[in-house]
């Protein structure tokens, strides 16, 4: 076959895999937002069947042959040097996906999809009923599947050095990063954050937030908020799920979710800002990447850099609330009518280590991640047995957060990730904080009007900067390449820590 034919065949296979992936994503989105409780088991069968079909289509020998013919090998994934840059990037991503996928037996892939479907539903029930025991068999299955998957990829049970099972899982989300390197970043990060927390004054009661906020009005406000941020609801939507998430069901169909608590207004609001940050990325890949494996984030940490940037750098800033607060207060005149912006802004940035990760302030947030990183490493290495997880969770909550979790629902069951088998995902959030503040440092150089635009509710320059510098690449660049291209730097915690220390010193004097 000629080069053009080989490429066409690969693109066709990629496009099929893309459409099947989006269909799988709809089955999952629906499970978390709409599926009646009775439908869980049949849904798991649908997931298992379709995941198996997608896998078989993708790993057909023809694909491997095309890659090799185009010069793409594990050692030289980008293929022949004479090919256009876009095609070489495509080959790199295809080669990586193919090499990972081809090592997994179809029965394993299909069984894993079924087990994940069942596990997620079991987790949602267990969380609602505060019943860890009911979730335990599913957690055990998820751990077994994750370990087995890493073994298929060639990672080793022995020790926790480079090449450990956990490294294999981490690599799914942050290509090339090891547990050791992650730990080396997280150690000093945790220490400096803890040192800062000790210096801050104790949190104060906040009577104006400790009231009922009608959830119907919260729904209306959050839709208005999406509109305010520039979320095009002709190309996406907002729904409700047990745990907030973003999923792309198509280039022009990107969906976010949140959840509503009458006595926690800020939970839904910051979830919507966070998930919108993911959605902007997914909605903004350039047309030439449409229906392709390149239409994806550079890594999960880069994805989280976007959501965490919008949630915190934008969403917890003073100019942002200068612009938005009147709209919020007009939705809740009874509760907020007499609360001034200074008071509100301080509360939005109050540092109060809390049990729930997604509701955490910017300073203590990364400590939640470090806690999970330590625990999931132990779960995957086998050092920690699943049945001992709740006890270890409480112990680590005291150690890392100085908090006592009262229930498993607000403790070890609070997050959806392990129930989906997504071990190795959590570090992405804390890494995303680091990426996000490195990007922000560059953005501030390029956009001196940053603060005034925020205050005016004009997000256009920010959207454009992100599109021009980050979104346009999809996953054509490795995360470290992207960072270098945008900022000229390597990954570092300094910009994040500088930002945190400066902001909270100013806030608390």
Q: Does the protein bind a copy of itself through residue 215 (CB under 8 A)?
A: no
Cβ nearer to a copy of itself, comparing 234 with 448 = 234
Residue of 43, 88, 127, 357 interacting with a copy of itself (CB under 8 A): 43
User: From CA 434, how far away is CA 437, in angstroms rounded?
Assistant: 5
Query: CB of 255: closest distance to a copy of itself in angstroms?
Result: 8
388 interacts with a copy of itself by CB under 8 A? no
Exposure string (b/e) for 219-242, b if CB count within 10 Å is 16 or more? eebbeebbeebebeeeebbbeebb
List the structure tokens of 415. 């997050």
For the CB of residue 34, give the shortest distance to a copy of itself in the complex, in Å.
7
Among 1, 5, 8, 41, binds a copy of itself (CB under 8 A): 41
Return the number of the residue (284 or 428) whose C-beta is nearest a copy of itself: 284
For position 291 contacting a copy of itself by CB under 8 A, the verdict is yes
H runs (alpha helix) in 34-105: 40-58, 61-69, 85-102
Residue with token string 């990325």? 281
Contact mark string toward a copy of itself, 224..243, x via CB under 8 A: --------xxxxxx------
Torsion angle, alpha carbons of 427, 428, 433, 436, to 10: 160
Q: In the 8-state DSSP scheme, what is residue 251?
A: T
By 3-state DSSP, what share of the chain in percent is helix, strand and coil, each rounded to 5?
65, 5, 30
Within 10 Å of residue 463's Cβ, how many Cβ atoms?
A: 15
By CB under 8 A, tell whether 202 contacts a copy of itself.
no
Do residues 278 and 303 touch, judged by C-beta distance below 8 A? Answer: yes
> Which of 471, 37, 13 shows the shortest CA–CA distance to 254?
471
Token code pair at residue 382: 């086998």
Tokens of 149: 């998957």
Indicate whether 53 belongs to the interface with a copy of itself (CB under 8 A). yes
Single out the residue of 5, 8, 42, 449 in contact with a copy of itself (rule: CB under 8 A).
42
Other beta carbons within 10 Å of 330: 12
Please give the residues from 408 up to 467 whose contact with a copy of itself meets the rule CB under 8 A. Answer: none
**Subset of 12-31 contacting a copy of itself (CB under 8 A):** 16, 19-20, 22-23, 26-27, 30
Annotated catalytic, 275? yes
Rg value, the chain, Cα = 23
Query: Judged by CB under 8 A, does residue 287 bind a copy of itself?
Result: no
Catalytic residue among 31, 275, 311, 362: 275
β partners of residue 255? 237, 247
Number of residues that bind a copy of itself (CB under 8 A): 34
Residue 252 binds a copy of itself, judged by CB under 8 A: yes
Task: Report the nearest approach of a copy of itself to the CB of residue 39 (Å).
Answer: 3
Q: How far apart are CA 430 and CA 365, in angstroms?
A: 8
Closer by beta carbon to a copy of itself, 238 or else 420:
238
**Residues assigned a catalytic role:** 275
Q: Which residues bind a copy of itself (CB under 8 A)?
A: 16, 19-20, 22-23, 26-27, 30, 34-39, 41-43, 45-46, 49-50, 53, 232-237, 249-253, 291
């Amino acid at each position: 076959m000629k080069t053009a034919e080989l490429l066409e065949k690969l693109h066709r296979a990629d496009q099929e895999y893309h459409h099947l992936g989006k269909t799988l994503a709809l089955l999952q989105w629906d499970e978390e937002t709409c599926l009646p409780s009775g439908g869980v088991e049949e849904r798991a069968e649908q997931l298992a069947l379709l995941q198996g079909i997608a896998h078989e289509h993708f790993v057909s020998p023809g694909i491997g042959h095309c890659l090799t013919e185009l010069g793409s090998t594990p050692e030289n994934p980008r293929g022949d040097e004479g090919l256009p840059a876009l095609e070489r990037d495509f080959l790199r991503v295809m080669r990586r996906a193919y090499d990972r996928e081809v090592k997994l037996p179809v029965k394993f892939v299909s069984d894993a999809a079924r087990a994940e479907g069942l596990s997620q539903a079991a987790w949602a029930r267990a969380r609602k009923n505060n019943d860890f025991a009911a979730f335990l068999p599913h957690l055990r299955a998820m751990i077994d599947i994750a370990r087995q998957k890493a073994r298929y990829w060639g990672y080793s049970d022995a020790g926790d050095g480079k090449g450990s099972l956990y490294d294999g899982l981490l690599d799914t989300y942050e290509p090339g990063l090891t547990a050791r390197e992650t730990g080396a970043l997280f150690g000093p990060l945790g220490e400096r954050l803890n040192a800062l927390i000790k210096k801050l004054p104790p949190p104060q009661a906040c009577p104006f937030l400790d009231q009922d906020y009608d959830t119907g009005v919260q729904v209306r406000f959050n839709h208005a908020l999406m509109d305010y941020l520039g979320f095009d609801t002709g190309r996406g939507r907002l729904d409700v799920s047990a745990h907030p998430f973003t999923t792309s069901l198509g280039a022009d169909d990107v969906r976010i979710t949140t959840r509503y608590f009458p006595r926690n207004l800020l939970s839904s609001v910051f979830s919507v800002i966070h998930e919108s940050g993911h959605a902007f990325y997914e909605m903004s890949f350039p047309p030439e990447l449409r229906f392709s494996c390149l239409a994806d984030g550079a890594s999960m940490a880069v994805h989280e850099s976007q959501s965490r940037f919008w949630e915190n750098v934008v969403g917890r800033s003073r100019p942002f609330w200068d612009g938005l607060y009147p709209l919020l207060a007009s939705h809740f005149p009874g509760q907020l009518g007499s609360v001034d912006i200074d008071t509100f802004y301080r509360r939005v940035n109050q540092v109060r280590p809390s049990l729930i990760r997604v509701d955490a302030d910017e300073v203590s947030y990364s400590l939640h991640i470090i806690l999970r990183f330590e625990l999931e490493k132990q779960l995957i290495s086998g050092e920690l047995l699943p049945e001992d997880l709740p006890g270890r969770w409480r112990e680590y909550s005291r150690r890392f957060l100085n908090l006592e979790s009262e229930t498993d629902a607000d403790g070890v069951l609070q997050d959806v990730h392990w129930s989906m088998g997504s071990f190795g995902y959590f570090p992405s959030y804390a890494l995303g904080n680091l990426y996000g503040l490195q990007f922000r440092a560059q953005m501030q150089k390029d956009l001196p009007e940053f603060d005034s635009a925020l205050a005016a509710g004009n997000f256009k320059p920010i959207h454009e900067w992100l599109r021009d510098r980050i979104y346009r690449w999809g996953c054509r660049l490795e995360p470290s390449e992207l960072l270098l291209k945008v900022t000229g730097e390597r990954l570092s915690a300094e910009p994040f820590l500088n930002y945190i220390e400066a902001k909270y010193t100013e806030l608390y004097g």
